[in-house]
Amino acid sequence: MNLPALKFSKTPRDMNRRDFLRSGAALATITLAPGVTLMSFGGEAAANADAGKRWGLLIDVNKCSQDCSACVSACSKENGWKLPENPETDAQWIRKVDLKDLLTGRESSLPMMCQHCEDAPCVDVCPTGASFKRKDGIVLVDKHACIGCRYCMMACPYKARSFIHEPLTDQKAHAPRGKGTVESCTLCVHKVDAGGTPACVEACNTTGNGAMMFGDLNDPESDIAKALLAYPSIALRADLGLNPGVRYSNL
């Protein structure tokens, strides 16, 4: 005997969801940025990747502590990759690296993720163009075009990319990922497109040590641009001239 499931009449799905999202986005614009309300009343919202922007991160290594991994767990939760059980083959979008200065013995710790290079080697080497850089500087993998050749993993100087070695189910709707393709940190592009902040930065500021800052490097008024102007910072493997969007201070 088959029990028919009850039909739902007034779930959120019944509402025209797209309209709901659009109105939500418009509302957010009104409250967050009063200056652009006129734009949001103008009807269709424009595409979100803005060529005038360059999203980036600034990580204060002094504030980051060795025993904290709030950013890693937040990323794992947000994007649906499990914390590594088999570190050789499991995907790691972000990882904590512990460092010891070989000369002085000073120890430090920092989070490593895709550095979102301006001249990204992964983008250069990808045969199909699946590895690409958005107009706003976020480096992504278009998994619809990724054939899983792993040349980008050979090319990345930061070990930022992971190959998915096993079949997956129950992915997050905003972070599709599947066997046989390559992936890496997306800078939480789904959140950024909605005006938000990457999960790692949020977690670092709430439960961590407030070592991470996110913002538009091109906007001189942004906190991150001001901090970069005021304090010394470095790009990892600066010798390669890749101009990464992730910078570290006090390393």
Partner 1 sequence: MERTIYREIPASRPVIQLAVLLGGFIAAAAGAVLYIEHNGHIVTGMNNQIVWGLPHVFAIFLIVAASGALNVASIASVFGKTPYKPMARLSALLALSLLAGGLAVLVLDLGRPDRLIVAMTEYNFSSIFAWNIYLYTGFFAVVGVYLFLQMGRNTPYSIVRTAGTVAFLWRLALTTGTGSIFGWLVARSAYDAAIMAPLFIVMSFAFGLAVFILVVTGMCRLTGRPFGKSLLNRLGRLLGIFVALVLYFTGVQHLTNLYAAEHGGIEWFILRDGGIYTQLFWFGQVLIGGIIPLVLVFHPTGGVKPVSTILASVLVILGGLAQLYVIVIGGQAFPLDIFPGFQASSSFMDGQVNAYSPSYLELLLGLGGVALALALTGVGLKILRILPTNLSDGNVGQTP
Partner 2 sequence: MRRLVVALLFVTGLLALPAMAGDLGPVIPKATGVAHIEGNLFMRINHMKLMVHDRDMTVHEGDRQVKYSLKACVECHAVNGHDAQPVAVTSEKHFCRVCHDYAAVKIDCFECHNSKPQISSSALLKPEMPDSTEIAAYLKEATQ
Contacting residues toward partner 1, per CB under 8 A? 84, 87-92, 95-103, 112, 121, 123-130, 145-151, 153-159, 161-167, 179-182, 236-237, 240
Nearer to partner 1, 102 or 230 (CB): 102
Size of the chain in residues: 251
Rg (CA), the chain: 20
Nearer to partner 1, 141 or 212 (CB): 141
Contact partner, 84, from partner 1, partner 2, none, Cβ < 5-8 Å per class: partner 1
Contact partner, 196, from partner 2, partner 1, none, Cβ < 5-8 Å per class: none
> What's the CA gap between 35 and 117, in Å, rounded?
31
Our finding on whether 95 is near partner 2 (CB under 8 A) is no
Nearer to partner 1, 17 or 159 (CB): 159
Query: Which phi and psi angles does 204 have, rounded to 5°?
Result: -65, -35
> What's the CA gap between 118 and 245, in Å, rounded?
7
Smallest distance from partner 1 to CB 123, Å: 8
> What's the CA gap between 12 and 207, in Å, rounded?
32
Give me 60's structure tokens.
Answer: 């204060």
Our finding on whether 43 is near partner 2 (CB under 8 A) is no
Q: What is the DSSP string of 184-207?
A: ---TTHHHHHTT---HHHHHHHHT
Smallest distance from partner 2 to CB 160, Å: 19
Task: Report which of 30, 78, 42, 70 is spatially closest to residue 197, judged by C-alpha positions.
Answer: 78
Our finding on whether 196 is near partner 2 (CB under 8 A) is no
Smallest distance from partner 2 to CB 95, Å: 22
Q: Looking at this protein, which amino acid is placed at residue 131?
A: S
Our finding on whether 52 is near partner 2 (CB under 8 A) is no
Query: CA 215 → CA 52, 58, 200, 212, distances in Å?
Result: 13, 9, 13, 10
Contact partner, 165, from partner 1, partner 2, none, Cβ < 5-8 Å per class: partner 1
Our finding on whether 77 is near partner 2 (CB under 8 A) is no
Question: Which residues contact partner 2 (rule: CB under 8 A)?
Answer: 1-18, 21-22, 25, 44-45, 47-49, 132, 134-136, 140, 142-144, 168-174, 176-181, 189-190, 193-194
